Structure 1
């Protein structure tokens, strides 16, 4: 049985098991990466000797990151496992683990952040120029929320009495395939669903410095209004990202603009550098494991490393 035929069987079963956004991600991986390489291959032929060189080529030639290649491997193994367990086909063992090049792991962890001076400049401008979208950016850099989470945030999710934000949903645009799980003309759909993981459903304290601005907008908005628009209509991540670029370069007038996700990274790194314990930061970010916070988001600045060396060895050189 060809991989393409297995995929058509698998996609209908998977649609009943996962969120539309997750299913769409799996389908895009299959259509863009797996189908061209293995779609017409008998699934019984797929083994480690074929898959490993394919993944290595994606990293070495196409420049894909370890994370992207690992996502591709996960989908491929799901298809092979489905063929084995549900279609009773004779497939090769898939319990083996890929040994990823360490250089790719290091490169994947290098995420951008703003310096403390830039951080302050962003916050000061947003506070001095209140608007719904500026509030969205302000909440992101002062709470570590993901862009889909802040776009889905409604005023009913903000508790002014306890000064907390309840992150309980996320908004994203996903690709919608046809009935056979094939993507024809690009059709998309806005999905508002549960957060990324169970740990992502969380309560975040509102920074006292921005609380007055939050209260002013809350006073003129209905509970079902979206925070980033102060309207019953939402804004989607792509639109907020586009505005954010203009906000940083033309309004705040920084000489560079990192990705929107860098606001979350800046928030987390700043907390760690100011001696906030990693477990607390991990909980605020909604990570399921503290190691995720350390490995992905926490990268001390050169200044922090210099201070650590000078402080840690001060007594030796007295």
Structure 2
């Protein structure tokens, strides 16, 4: 999800039974706003691990906020504040170089591609209308997509098309 979509995520938009998140708004400058493009409105499929973490998170919160991610006062997270007070100090403590929190979105897309998920499904998850952006931006980071020696195809044939 994009940072504003995460900040604006509300519990009513998470379907724990069908394992989906309905993305239909973003929080920007403490105001819920419509999304910028039609393809940004989407249902995101959740893996079991994420469902479990979200359910645990919901149990641990002693708040009546409708928002999923809130501060100690029950107010929704704000991307610049989270970056400054949580993200960058965490990177410093881990000894990692600074990178924008938005990079986690790119990491997610790259890992999905590298693990062999369908590019069309990934594009839908990310809120892209086509796979064009996926291949233009991420394919160079995925070794299996950048071979140019025929070895991937040969491996495919040698393993009976698997």
Answer whether TM exceeds 0.5 for this pair: yes
Q: Distance in 2 between matches of 1:237 and 1:213?
A: 21
CA contact (8 A) 2:3 2:79 kept: yes
For residues 87-102 of structure 1, the aligned pairs below 5 Å read none
1:244 aligns with 2:87: yes
- Post-superposition Cα deviations, 1:192-212, rounded to whole Å, max 9, x if no partner, equal 111221111111122212322
2:44 to 197, 204, 210: 204
Instruction: Find the counterpart in structure 1 of residue 8 from structure 2.
Output: 152
Q: Distance in 1 between matches of 2:62 and 2:120?
A: 34
What RMSD in Å do the two structures reach over aligned CA positions? 2.6
Instruction: Find the counterpart in structure 1 of residue 22 from structure 2.
Output: 166
Q: Distance in 1 between matches of 2:140 and 2:146?
A: 13
For residues 110-129 of structure 1, the aligned pairs below 5 Å read none
CA contact (8 A) 1:154 1:223 kept: no
Q: Distance in 1 between matches of 2:149 and 2:64?
A: 50
1:233 to 58, 63, 75: 75
- Post-superposition Cα deviations, 1:230-281, rounded to whole Å, max 9, x if no partner, equal 764112111122221222331xx14223211111111111111222221111
Unaligned stretches of 5+ residues in structure 2 = 156-162
Instruction: Find the counterpart in structure 1 of residue 126 from structure 2.
Output: 285
Q: CA deviation at 1:313?
A: 7.1
Q: Distance in 1 between matches of 2:139 and 2:68?
A: 28
CA contact (8 A) 1:171 1:237 kept: no
Q: CA deviation at 1:298?
A: 3.8
Q: Distance in 2 between matches of 1:267 and 1:201?
A: 19
Q: Distance in 1 between matches of 2:95 and 2:82?
A: 18
CA contact (8 A) 1:155 1:221 kept: no
Unaligned stretches of 5+ residues in structure 1 = 1-144, 174-189
Q: CA deviation at 1:288?
A: 1.9
Instruction: Find the counterpart in structure 2 of residue 218 from structure 1.
Output: 58
SS class of match (1:204): strand
Instruction: Name the structure where helix makes up a greater proportion of residues.
Output: 1
For residues 1-318 of structure 1, the aligned pairs below 5 Å read 145-173=1-29, 190-219=30-59, 220=61, 224-229=65-70, 232-242=74-84, 243-250=86-93, 253-301=94-142, 303-304=143-144, 309=149, 311-312=151-152
Q: CA deviation at 1:160?
A: 0.9
- Post-superposition Cα deviations, 1:198-229, rounded to whole Å, max 9, x if no partner, equal 11111112221232221122235667432121
Instruction: Find the counterpart in structure 2 of residue 29 from structure 1.
Output: none
CA contact (8 A) 2:140 2:146 kept: no
Q: Distance in 2 between matches of 1:311 and 1:256?
A: 35
SS class of match (1:218): helix
